[in-house]
Amino acid sequence: MQGVLAPIQFVIFLASLALVLRFLATGEGQQAASVSVVVKTLALYAIMITGCLWEKDVFGVHLFAPAFFWEDVFSMLVLALHTAYLVLLALGGLEAHALMLLALAAYAAYLINAVQFLLKLRAARRDEAQARQDQSASEGAPA
């Protein structure tokens, strides 16, 4: 599921980022930018829930498994920033420009978190390939 949701969330992020930046640069499209941040946040919630379920299946805990501890810690910041956006939007707690700056902070944290996960995935694939290579070499070696 993560393999499907992550690219979808990234496309939503790119579209929303463009709308937020457009609003900040021109003052136009506030409604579209706001809606796009809400959609991005809902996609984030979906990927976080499915990620917690995957982590439970693989590591026996919903969050903070040793293999993904720091990624999960940073994910909490990402969730907090996105959720703060939703709360402040609903309560009218910030004016539009400040709200969009909060969205940019949430998006910056999201990007850092995405890079963390991609680097972890890349390292895992590299380690897996090395393990297969080592196994093949040991199977072909005389005993």
Q: What is the pLDDT of residue 54?
A: 87
Q: 110 and 13 in contact (C-beta within 8 Å)?
A: yes
pLDDT bin (cut points 50, 70, 90) of residue 142 is low
- Which of these, 74, 79, 14, 17, lies nearest to 42 by C-alpha position? 79
Q: What is the pTM of this model?
A: 0.84
pLDDT bin (cut points 50, 70, 90) of residue 140 is low
The span from the CA of 55 to the CA of 51, in Å, is 6
Structural domain includes residue 43: yes
Range of the domain at 99: 2-133
Looking at the structure of the chain, the number of domains it has is 1
3-state secondary structure of 141: coil
Residue 59, C-beta contacts closer than 8 angstroms, at least 6 positions apart: 65, 66, 67, 68
> pLDDT tens digits for 30-60?
999 999 999 999 999 999 999 899 889 988 9
Structural domain includes residue 143: no
Q: 101 and 91 in contact (C-beta within 8 Å)?
A: no
Structural domain includes residue 129: yes
Structural domain includes residue 141: no
DSSP for residue 67: G
Q: Where are the beta strands (DSSP E) in the chain?
A: none
> pLDDT tens digits for 52-102?
998 899 889 999 988 888 889 999 999 999 999 999 999 999 999 999 999
- Which of these, 68, 70, 101, lies nearest to 84 by C-alpha position? 101
Residue 37 host element (H or E): helix 30-59
The span from the CA of 41 to the CA of 9, in Å, is 9
Structural domain includes residue 126: yes
